[in-house]
């Protein structure tokens, strides 16, 4: 059964840090690229970061220098370390995976999705 499970969300004050984790199982086990997206109330789901099995990474401009994506291929887990959090980072964060290497950072490029984990940053 293809499945992605996020964890690590919570509430933090501006300037604080959180680390999100995403565990892959089933058909998502062999995915080449894993990514993180986020969706705030009333807004579209936006790209945050992605990482290939090789370790190559890609970030949205809004999080560059603050967020770091990494993965443990042996454990089939991807992480998102979030530092210097801002209120505008508040959203539900979703883990996603695809067997290929996406040419664009869009929702439609990913095949598997987790249920999301809430991140709330207070000012």
Q: Give pLDDT < 70 ranges for the chain.
A: 1-2, 27-29
| pLDDT at position 51 | 95
Strand, helix or coil at 30?
helix
Burial zone of 41 (CB within 10 Å; 0-12 exposed, 13-18 middle, 19+ buried): exposed
In sequence order, what are the residues at sequence separation of 6 or more whose Cβ sits closer than 8 angstroms to the Cβ of residue 112? Answer: 2, 3, 4, 24, 27, 28, 31, 96, 97, 98
What pLDDT is stored for residue 28 in this prediction?
A: 66
């Amino acid at each position: 059964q293809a499945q992605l499970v996020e964890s690590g969300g919570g509430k933090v004050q501006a300037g604080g840090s959180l680390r999100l984790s995403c565990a892959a199982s089933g058909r998502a086990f062999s995915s080449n690229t894993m990514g993180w997206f986020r969706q705030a109330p009333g807004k579209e789901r936006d790209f945050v970061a992605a990482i290939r099995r090789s370790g190559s990474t890609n970030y949205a401009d809004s999080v560059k220098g603050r967020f770091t994506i990494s993965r443990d291929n042996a454990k089939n887990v991807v992480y998102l370390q979030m530092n210097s959090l801002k209120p505008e980072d508040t959203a539900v964060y979703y883990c996603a995976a695809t067997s290929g290497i996406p040419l664009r950072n869009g929702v439609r490029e990913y095949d598997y999705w987790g249920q999301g984990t809430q991140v709330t940053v207070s000012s």
